[in-house]
Amino acid sequence: MNSSQSTELEVERVGPAERKEAKALLMRCHLPLVGLNQAELWCVKGSGGRLLAVAGLETWGGHALLRSVAVEDESRGSGIGSLLVTHVLNTAKSKRATEVYLLTETAPLFFRKLGFKKFARSRVKGMILTSIEFRGACPESAHVMRLVL
The rounded Cα 4 to chain-centroid distance in angstroms is 22
Q: What is the pLDDT of residues 81-104, one digit of tens each?
A: 999 999 999 999 999 999 999 999
Is 88 within 8 Å of 42 (Cβ atoms)?
Answer: yes
β-bridge partners, 56: 41, 67
Ordered by start, the domain boundaries in the chain are: 3-148
Q: With pLDDT > 90 as the criterion, what percentage of the chain qualifies?
A: 79
pLDDT at 25: 96
Whats the size of the chain, residue-wise?
A: 149
Superfamily of domain 3-148: Gcn5-related N-acetyltransferase (GNAT) (3.40.630.30)
> In sequence order, which residues have a C-beta less than 8 Å from that of residue 112 and are 6 or more positions away?
145
pLDDT at 42: 97
What's the Rg (C-alpha) of the chain?
Answer: 14
